[in-house]
C-alpha cells in the first residue's frame, strides 16, 4: 500500500511536515502550523520558494527583511472568504507571531530567484464556481499560472458542498508532455465541516499500478504523486482542501480518465 494519507502529528505546533524526501518525489513541500495566540513559528526558505496561507486566524509576519503587519481575517475556513497569503522567495527567512489562535500553511517548491516577496490576497482573489450539478464546487485561486507570483508553485483552495464530488471528472497530470499534459506533484490538505466527519479521496492509475481509496479526516493530507485523484464529500459534511502543485513547468495541463471524458465534454457545452 502506498503511503499517501498523512495524519497530523498532533493538534498544536507544527502538525505536518511533508518534504520531497519524505514524499518520495522532487518538487512539492507542505507544512502546517497550529499556533495559539502569542506563539511563533519561523523558518528559512533555503533553495525553495514559499507561500504562507493564513488558513484561519491572524498573525503578524516578518519575511525577507520586511514587516508585513498582521495578516488574516478569516477565523473559520468555512467562512469561504479570500485568504491572506504571503509569497517568500528562496534564500530568505520568515517569522509569524500569532495574534489569535491560527492555522498557517507553508506551501513550498523549488525557487529560482525570479520574484520578490509580496502579499497575495485577499484583494484579487474571488470565490468562483466550477462544475455542474453535484460536481459543483467553489474555488479561491491563490497562485495559479495566470498569476505571475512564483517560480514553481501553484496553490488554490477548493470548497466542496456536502454530497458533491470534486477534482472530478477524474484527471491526471503526471507526464511532462506540454501542452498536452504537465507533470505536477500535488498535496491536498483536507478540512471537514462538521469537523468530526469524513471525506473520500481515491488516487489511481488506469492500468491499476496505483489504486488507493482513503477516508480522510479533518486535518489530513493526501499525497498525489501520479494518477487520477477525485474527492467525495458525503451528505452532511462540507469539504475544504488546499492544493499545492509543482513540477518542472508551472503550467496546469491534465488528461481526463477515459471512462469519464464524456462527462467533461458534455459539461463543457
- Per-residue model confidence as pLDDT tens digits over 109-123: 999 988 999 999 999
Percent of the chain surpassing pLDDT 70: 99
* Per-residue pLDDT, 2: 65
* 115 neighbors 150 (Cβ within 8 angstroms): yes
**Cis peptide before 169, with omega less than 30 degrees from 0?**
yes
Q: Taking the domains of the chain in order of start, what are their residue ranges?
A: 5-267
* 192 neighbors 201 (Cβ within 8 angstroms): no
DSSP 228: B
Q: Is 24 left (phi over 0), alpha (psi -120 to 50) or beta?
A: left
Alpha-carbon gap, residue 16 to 53, rounded angstroms: 14
CATH class of the region 5-267? mainly beta
CA 32 to chain centre: 11
Please, which residues bridge with residue 115 across strands? none
Considering the chain, what is the average pLDDT of its residues? 96
Instruction: Give me the half-sphere count of Cα atoms (radius 13 Å) on the Cβ side of residue 222.
Output: 27
Q: Quote the cell numbers at residue 168.
A: 472530478
Alpha-carbon gap, residue 223 to 18, rounded angstroms: 9
Alpha-carbon gap, residue 165 to 155, rounded angstroms: 20
The answer, yes or no, to whether residue 206 has pLDDT greater than 60, is: yes
What is the DSSP pairing of strand 255-256 with strand 221-224?
unpaired
Mean pLDDT over 212-216 rounds to 97
Instruction: Give me the half-sphere count of Cα atoms (radius 13 Å) on the Cβ side of residue 177.
Output: 8
* Per-residue pLDDT, 103: 98
Residue in 237, 235, 199, 234 with CA at minimum distance from that of residue 215: 199
Q: Which residue has cell 516578518?
A: 62
Mean pLDDT over 9-24 rounds to 96
Mean pLDDT over 81-93 rounds to 97
Q: What is the pLDDT of residues 25-81, one digit of tens each?
A: 999 999 999 999 999 999 999 999 999 999 999 999 999 999 999 999 999 999 999
The answer, yes or no, to whether residue 1 has pLDDT greater than 70, is: no
Q: What is the pLDDT of residues 170-188, one digit of tens each?
A: 999 999 999 999 999 999 9
The answer, yes or no, to whether residue 268 has pLDDT greater than 90, is: no
Amino acid at each position: 500500500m502506498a503511503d499517501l494519507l498523512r495524519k497530523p502529528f498532533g493538534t498544536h505546533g507544527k502538525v505536518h511536515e511533508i518534504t520531497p524526501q519524505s514524499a518520495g518525489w522532487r518538487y512539492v513541500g507542505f507544512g502546517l502550523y497550529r499556533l495559539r495566540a502569542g506563539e511563533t513559528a519561523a523558518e528559512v526558505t533555503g533553495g525553495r520558494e514559499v507561500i504562507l496561507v493564513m488558513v484561519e486566524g491572524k498573525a503578524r509576519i516578518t519575511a525577507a527583511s520586511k514587516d508585513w503587519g498582521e495578516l488574516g481575517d478569516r477565523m473559520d475556513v468555512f467562512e469561504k472568504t479570500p485568504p491572506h497569503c504571503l509569497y517568500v522567495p528562496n534564500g530568505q527567512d520568515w517569522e509569524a507571531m500569532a495574534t489569535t489562535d491560527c492555522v498557517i500553511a507553508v506551501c513550498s517548491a523549488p525557487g529560482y530567484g525570479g520574484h520578490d516577496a509580496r502579499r497575495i490576497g485577499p484583494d484579487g482573489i474571488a470565490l468562483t464556481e466550477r462544475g455542474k450539478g453535484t460536481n459543483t464546487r467553489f474555488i479561491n485561486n491563490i497562485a495559479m499560472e495566470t498569476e505571475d507570483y512564483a517560480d514553481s508553485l501553484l496553490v488554490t483552495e477548493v470548497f466542496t458542498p456536502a454530497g458533491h464530488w470534486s477534482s472530478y471528472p477524474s484527471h491526471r497530470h503526471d507526464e511532462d508532455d506540454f501542452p498536452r499534459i504537465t507533470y505536477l506533484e500535488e498535496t491536498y490538505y483536507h478540512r471537514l465541516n462538521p469537523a468530526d466527519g469524513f471525506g473520500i479521496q481515491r488516487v489511481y492509475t488506469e492500468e491499476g499500478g496505483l489504486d488507493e481509496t482513503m477516508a480522510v479526516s479533518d486535518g489530513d493530507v493526501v499525497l498525489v504523486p501520479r494518477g487520477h485523484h477525485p474527492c467525495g464529500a458525503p451528505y452532511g459534511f462540507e469539504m475544504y482542501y488546499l492544493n499545492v502543485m509543482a513540477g518542472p513547468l508551472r503550467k496546469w495541463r491534465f488528461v481526463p480518465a477515459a471512462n469519464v471524458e464524456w462527462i467533461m465534454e458534455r459539461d463543457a457545452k
